[in-house]
Amino acid sequence: MRKQRQVLRLGKRALIMGILNVTPDSFSDGGKYVDLDAALKHAREMAEEGADIIDVGGESTRPGANPVPLEEEMERVLPVIEAIAREVDVPISVDTYKAPVAEAALEAGAVMVNDVSGLRFSPEMADVVARHRAWVVVMHMQGTPRDMQEAPYYKDVVEEIHEFFQERIRFAEKHGVPREKIILDPGIGFGKRLKDNLALFQGIPRFLSLGCPIMVGPSRKSFIGNILGLPIQERLEGTLAAVAIAVFQGAQVIRVHDVRPAKRAADLAWAMRRKI
């Protein structure tokens, strides 16, 4: 196992998390990187394009997705994480809500867990993160991937998610995860209506009051398609607009498929927010 790289340089610019789905059924790129060689090649490409983190996921969390058995998820992600840790000099995140997968991934070379359940679906997840002194992304999702878009509803989406984050931070800290290792993700597209997704971009400054970096994942999401009337393969410009707005509002981590153009958009928005 390669020595884990714990340092993420937050605060100097927005970090880009490149998406590496080793799944057959992800909404945008399912099936493209299930082969180990293809996955490693794409990881190298994202690193060359400027990715600060590579997020490896073995289970689709698209709306309506069914869970993947534990062993199957491990078989998908662990060889990829081990290969990236050996050959690509970029910190690795594992996109999972299962504590055993997270534990194995952290032992294989990952330094971060990206948990779409916000440490709720697997009771041991916070303990695993604390034991490995890992970073963790705590994301908000209403429901589960299978049912999250059936009838999402909020009276005030920003305040409700702010309260959710407060409770999840307390939970994580109680289990030994320091606040400085927690990143918050409001979960664009995860149990949200169009108006909720738009409100969350405006609500980023409110979430920053909690003292944790904010991550936003707008890449190719359906809200872009709904506004622009475009299919998944034509949502790059919309994604870049969302990236720029998120960073200008204060987001410090951006999760995307298209690393190079997203990094350029994020760097410009970062400079404009801080007036260079």
Q: Distance between CA 9 and CA 216 in Å, rounded? A: 17
- Give the closest residue to 29 by CA, choosing from 42, 16, 15: 42
Q: How far is CA 219 from the centre of its chain?
A: 10
For 1, the 3-state DSSP assignment is coil
Helix or strand run (H / E) with residue 93: strand 92-95
Question: In this structure, what DSSP letter does residue 4 have?
Answer: P
Q: Distance between CA 16 and CA 24 in Å, rounded? A: 24
Identify the active-site residue in 221, 260, 263, 275: 221
Does residue 221 have an active-site annotation?
Answer: yes
What string of DSSP letters covers 42-65? HHHHHHHHT-SEEEEESS--STTP
Task: Centre a 10 Å sphere on the Cβ of residue 48 and count the other Cβ atoms it contains.
Answer: 12
Identify the active-site residue in 255, 260, 273, 275: 255
Contact status, residue 58 vs residue 42, Cβ threshold 8 Å: no
Query: Rg (Cα) of the chain, in Å, rounded?
Result: 17
Residue that has been written with the tokens 């190079």 in this structure:
260
Q: Distance between CA 71 and CA 56 in Å, rounded? A: 16
Residue that has been written with the tokens 């690509």 in this structure:
88
Contact status, residue 24 vs residue 34, Cβ threshold 8 Å: yes
Does residue 255 have an active-site annotation?
Answer: yes
User: Which token pair is 182?
Assistant: 């927690």
Q: Which residues are catalytic?
A: 221, 255
